[in-house]
Amino acid sequence: MTLLGTNTYLVGTGTHRILIDTGNPNVLEYQSLLKKVLTDTQSVISQIIITHYHLDHIGGLSDTRKLCGQDIPAFKFDFKSPQLKSVHKYEDGPINYIQDNHVFSVEGATLTAKYNPGHTDDHMILWLEEERAIFSSDTILGEGTTKFTNFADYMQSLKDIKEMKPTTIYPGHGPVVSEPIPHIDYYISHRQRREEQIVSLLQQSDQSALTIVQVLYKNYPVEVHGEAADVVLLHLQKLQGERRVKCRGDTANRESLWTMSMPNKL
């Protein structure tokens, strides 16, 4: 764990271990702890898996390679979006792009990489065969809820994880989830409830993301309303993809008006 921030995991029981994520850059306490654990277990990192491109998961890659070996191979999923791919260039050494269901294996651990988008375009979870457990990264957190960039993808990813029936979830942030199914159900129902609230408001009158936020987040500080409006937009874009709503302007604009495609019908 990178202090109280990002969870990273050293997986395996033998000399060679797999490191899942690397935390933020320039966190000396984390690097010292990692070195101590490797020394105490008389092990080395043979592979690094990056679950997605966010800095708090990939940022420590260069530091980890400096500490443990510049030639340690790192793996992640490629971006589906050409735009994202062109923006994010890594300077921490080579990264190997893998395909869905790629299998990593060391003594005591067999990990299968599963494409699990929604939080990000390149997001990965890992299935640990020996425990029937999942490393969920940021799709599911140990406490609280997470952010997403594509709501439809995110909801499907939650359902995919539930269908795998994990016994344990090791999240990217927060404590380990020992009862995964109720935890996943909460995530799904929370988002479904929010969607129902948005639809209910649109059935009454046309709304923008900002006017929806003023109702649904009225008890939250005004400072978070902008971020909340972006979440509402992702809900609206999902509903638009389902042809349930229409936008009268720019679908990325918080002030654009949205209307029901079929008034008074879900």
Q: Share the mean pLDDT of the chain.
A: 93
Residues 79 and 48 in one domain: yes
The answer to whether residue 4 sits within a structural domain is: no
Are residue 19 and residue 145 in the same domain, yes or no? Answer: yes
Give the model confidence (pLDDT) of 152-182 as tens digits: 999 999 999 999 999 999 999 999 999 999 9
Whether 266 is in a domain gets the answer no
Residue 2, in any domain of the structure: no
Residues 174 and 87 in one domain: yes
Residues 72 and 196 reside in one and the same domain: no
- Domain span at residue 116 reads 9-178
167 and 196: one domain?
Answer: no
- Does the pLDDT at position 266 exceed 50? no
265 domain-assigned: no
Nearest to 218 by CA among 202, 236, 235, 197: 197
Residues 123 and 193 grouped into a single domain: no
Model confidence band, residue 81 (pLDDT cutoffs 50, 70, 90): confident
Q: For 97-150, what is each residue's pLDDT tens digit?
A: 999 999 999 999 999 999 999 999 999 999 999 999 999 999 999 999 899 999
Q: Are residue 106 and residue 224 in the same domain, yes or no?
A: no
| Sequence-separated (6 or more) residues with CB below 8 Å from residue 228 | 213, 216, 217, 220
SS in 3 state form for 99-110? CCCCEEEECCEE
Is residue 183 situated within a structural domain?
no
Shared-domain flag, residues 60 and 152: yes
Same domain, 163 and 63: yes
Is 166 in the same domain as 45? yes
Report the CATH number that the domain containing residue 45 is assigned in CATH.
3.60.15.10
State the Cα angle at 55 between 231 and 107, rounded to 5°: 115
Same domain for 61 and 103? yes
Distance CA 176, CA 252 (A): 35
Residue 232 sits in the same domain as residue 172: no
Q: What is the pLDDT of residue 263?
A: 54
**pTM of the predicted model as reported, rounded to 2 decimal places:** 0.89
Query: How much is the average pLDDT of 228-246?
Result: 96
Last residue in a domain, options 154, 178, 202:
178
pLDDT value of position 94: 85
What pLDDT is stored for residue 80 in this prediction? 79
Among the candidates 178, 197, 232, a domain finishes at: 178
- The string of pLDDT tens digits covering residues 196-235 is 999 999 999 999 999 999 999 999 999 999 999 999 999 9
Q: What pLDDT shows up at residue 3?
A: 35
Is 191's pLDDT higher than 60? yes
For the chain, the domain total comes to 2
Structure tokens at 265: 């019908």
